[in-house]
Structure 1
Amino acid sequence: MEGTAVTVESVTEVGPSTVALELATPEDFEALPGQFVLLRAAPEGEEVARHYTLSSPTVEETFEITVGVDPDGELAPWLASLEGGETVHVEGPFGTIAYEDDGDVVAIAGGPGIGPAVAIAEAAQRAGHDAAVIYQDDEPAHTERLEALSEAGAAVTVLEADDDEGLESAVDAHLEDGQCYVFGFADFVDQVAETIEAAGGDPDEARIENFG
């Protein structure tokens, strides 16, 4: 199997149908919040590969990915069933959307985009910068980390999936508070880009990762 073999250190439920996998960091692996890896495994004896964005602020010793679990999926249900000690293979990191401890941030997430969003917000706080998180999802994940971010001074807004007015209001309120990072599926990131433009910002200056 291609890629570097890494050990699954732990699997933790972090929300409805959502788990976080903590993986041992391979030698010479350097990645930044916002980047992603290609994970390979063979749940039924046949290799399956999927991309997952990092959801940990660092990759020292271990790093984390957040996995939304579709019960009919080829890989995610198997990953969610692991108990630690298993081996998967990773390639990467990939991607140019990355946070390098370079200022205040506004992390905007829809659905599975919350993983990289909390990672970037945490990295910003660790570097002494301010962070805001705007998150839209009917079944929020990583709520404990969001609460910790809020307690540490981050502006955290959690919205229901159909609250378009609330999303527009939150984006408008925080547009000038830092570099915007946007993570989510196509409809969501397109909506955020339109909202940024309507609020007087330049969507081309936002760092947007479209999950497809």
Structure 2
Amino acid sequence: MEGTPVTVESVTEVGPDTVALELETPDGFDALPGQFVLLRASPDDEVLSRHYTLSSPDVGATFELTVGIDPDGDLSPWLADLEAGETVNVEGPFGRITYDGEDDVVAVAGGPGIGPAVAIAEAAHNAGRDAVVIYQADEPAHTDRLEALESAGATIRYVDEDDDDTLADAIATHREDGQLYAFGFEDFVTFVAEAIDDAGGDPDEALIENFG
């Protein structure tokens, strides 16, 4: 199997149908928040691969991937059932959307986009920068980390799944509070780009990752 074998340190439920997969950091793995890896595994002897964006603010001894579980999926339920000591293969990191600690940030997340969004917000806080997280979901994940960020002074805005008016208002309110990032599926990030434009901003200045 291609890629580097890495050991699973833990699998933790972090929200409804969502787990955090903590993996041992391989030698030479130098990733920044916002980047992603290609994960390969072989449930039922079939090699499957998926891209996952990092959801940890750093990659010291371990790094984290947030996995949304599709009950009918061929890989995510298997990943959710992994135990410490098992292995998967990773390639990367990939991607030009990164955070290096230089700026205040506004991280806009839809659904599974909360993984990289919370990682970037934590990295900003660790660097002494301000952070805003705007998160649209009916059943939020990573709430413990978001609450910790809020207690530390970050601004956290939760938005209901179908409340696009509030999402657009939150984007308009906070779009100039830092470098804007957006993570989510195509419909979501398209809406974010349009909301930035409608508010008088330039969507091309936002760092947007489309999960497809």
Rounded to whole Å, the distance in 2 between the matches of 1:188 and 1:49 is 24
1:163 aligned residue: 163
TM-score normalised over the length of structure 2: 0.99
Q: Which structure 2 residues correspond to residues 193-212 of structure 1 after superposition, within 5 A?
A: 193-212=193-212
Q: Which structure 2 residues correspond to residues 74-153 of structure 1 after superposition, within 5 A?
A: 74-153=74-153
1:189 aligned residue: 189
Rounded to whole Å, the distance in 2 between the matches of 1:57 and 1:108 is 16
Q: Which runs of 5+ in 1 are unaligned?
A: none
Kindly report the root-mean-square deviation, in angstroms, between the aligned alpha carbons of the 2 structures.
Answer: 0.5
Per-residue CA shift, 1:60-87, capped at 9, x if unaligned? 0100000000011111000001121101
1:27 aligned residue: 27
1:61 aligned residue: 61
Q: Secondary structure of 1:7's match? A: strand
Q: Secondary structure of 2:44's match? A: coil
| Aligned residue type for 1:142 | H
- The runs of at least 4 consecutive aligned structure 1 residues that moved more than 6 Å come to none
Percent of aligned pairs sharing the same letter? 71
Q: Secondary structure of 1:44's match? A: helix
2:37 aligned residue: 37
2:50 aligned residue: 50
TM-aligned CA deviation for residue 102 of structure 1 = 1.2
TM-score normalised over the length of structure 1: 0.99
TM-aligned CA deviation for residue 168 of structure 1 = 0.9
TM-aligned CA deviation for residue 47 of structure 1 = 0.5
1:17 aligned residue: 17
Rounded to whole Å, the distance in 1 between the matches of 2:44 and 2:149 is 39
